[in-house]
Amino acid sequence: MLVPGYGSGSLADVPRSLLAALGLREPNALALDPVDRVCLFVVDGLGADLLRAHPEAAPFLSGMTGRTLTAGFPATTVTSLCTLGTGLTPGEHGMVGLMLAVPGTGHLFNCLRWTLPDGLTMDPDEWQPAATVYQRAAEAGVEPVYVAPAEFEGTGLTRAVYRGVRYVAADSIDDRVARVHETLRERRPAYVTVYYGDLDAAGHMVGWGSDEWLRQLGIVDDMARRLAEGLPPGSALYVTADHGMINATEKIDAESVPELTEGVALLGGEARARHVYARPGAAKQVLESWRETLHGKAWVVSRQEAVESGWFGPRVADAWLARIGDVVAVPHTDLAITAPSTHRIEALFTGYHGSLTAAEQHVPLLEVQS
């Protein structure tokens, strides 16, 4: 089990260290060198262990100076993007999973698609009220810019984790590279974040290490090279990721196994990091049943055990405790705990992430300066 190293080398340490490198009064836990301009290239699904397994497909990235960080728990996009956006641990910002119970409603909230059933809505400022690092940067005179596809502009997740940025919509790789270079040249100091998501999509559908995944890794490598080549003097490019990935060799349909359904009110989280919400009075029985059924395949703990073990960070705010399942189930083999009737597409995936294994937790922080 790889519990994230909050405060000593995790994604939560990245944004404030970047602001400190730009001269802001923020903790510099990663001891980054001072610069005038920063570009953070976030590659969805670029696990450090995955990259090390295929240096031939990414010669530029493999040659960059770097270190390995832990993503945080769960190792999933919504949690990690919120961590990068706030500089807080999951236990502090409250985005503790993909599908989370909304306390008192009996509903699951999809934090990625920002959807609730029955036409209900969720205010991003209420679900994630913490100030972002971008807001703090703007207050200090640094205009933060986010370069990403137009489809994400104005979404609930973007409003929750990127509050305070100037959103620059750029769909093609050429446009993204050009917008980053323009912004860095025009501003000093500058803090630019650019996102690429197709590597993760390929991993989910056909598996990491597949031909399509390797093709995408080559695209990422070329994009990083181009970003680095156009850096103005006094700039730094940092490349990181939100999580790694495993290829599932076994799947369990949690909706069709009686031992995994008895006493369960809602099944949240995702296939590698399940939040299991029990019916009133059934939490102990659900914990015992899930532990017995998944013995030797998953770490199955109570909410209290997960919190006390530091999975979500050194502390979890009282307001977010009920978002965590009564039971948290985290596979340590290449198992996916699926729910085909409610999450059909996810059940068909090859690649998954979320757990506390090295392949999912290890993310790179690669650096090049001009």
How does pLDDT run across 24-83, given as a tens digit for each residue? 999 999 999 999 999 999 999 999 999 999 999 999 999 999 999 999 999 999 999 999
* Residue 41 pLDDT: 99
3-state secondary structure of 216: helix
| Residues 162-180, mean pLDDT to the nearest whole number | 98
Q: What is the pLDDT of residues 126-145, one digit of tens each?
A: 999 999 999 999 999 999 99
Q: Domains in the chain, please, with CATH?
A: 11-246+356-369 (3.40.720.10), 250-352 (3.30.1360.180)
Q: Give residues with Cβ within 8 angstroms of 139, minimum separation 6.
A: none
3-state secondary structure of 119: helix
Q: How far apart are CA 231 and CA 62, in angstroms?
A: 19
| Residues 168-182, mean pLDDT to the nearest whole number | 98
Are 194 and 42 in contact, with CB atoms under 8 Å apart? Answer: yes
**Closest to 163 (Cα-Cα) out of 120, 129, 199, 117:** 129
Q: Which tokens sit at 362?
A: 């290890």
Q: How far apart are CA 269 and CA 267, in angstroms?
A: 7
C-alpha dihedral sign at 233, 235, 236, 237: negative
Backbone phi and psi for residue 38, each to the nearest 5 degrees, phi listed first? -130, 135
* Residue 235 pLDDT: 97
HSE-CB for 245 with a 13 A CA cutoff:
29
Q: How confident is the model at residue 118 (pLDDT cuts 50, 70, 90)?
A: confident
The neighbouring-strand residues paired with 352 are: 246
**Closest to 44 (Cα-Cα) out of 347, 353, 335, 270:** 353
Q: How far apart are CA 17 and CA 321, in angstroms?
A: 28
* Residue 104 pLDDT: 87
Q: Is the pLDDT of residue 334 over 90?
A: yes
Q: Which residues of 28-43 are buried (b: 16+ CB within 10 A; e: fewer)?
A: bbbebeebbbbbbbbb
Identity (one letter) of the amino acid at 156? G
Q: Is the pLDDT of residue 120 over 90?
A: no
* Residue 352 pLDDT: 99
Q: What is the pLDDT of residues 258-305, one digit of tens each?
A: 999 999 999 999 999 999 999 999 999 999 999 999 999 999 999 999
Q: How far apart are CA 6 and CA 12, in angstroms?
A: 7
Q: What is the pLDDT of residues 224-236, one digit of tens each?
A: 999 999 999 999 9
C-alpha dihedral sign at 128, 130, 135, 137: negative
3-state secondary structure of 235: strand
Q: How far apart are CA 158 and CA 80, in angstroms?
A: 13
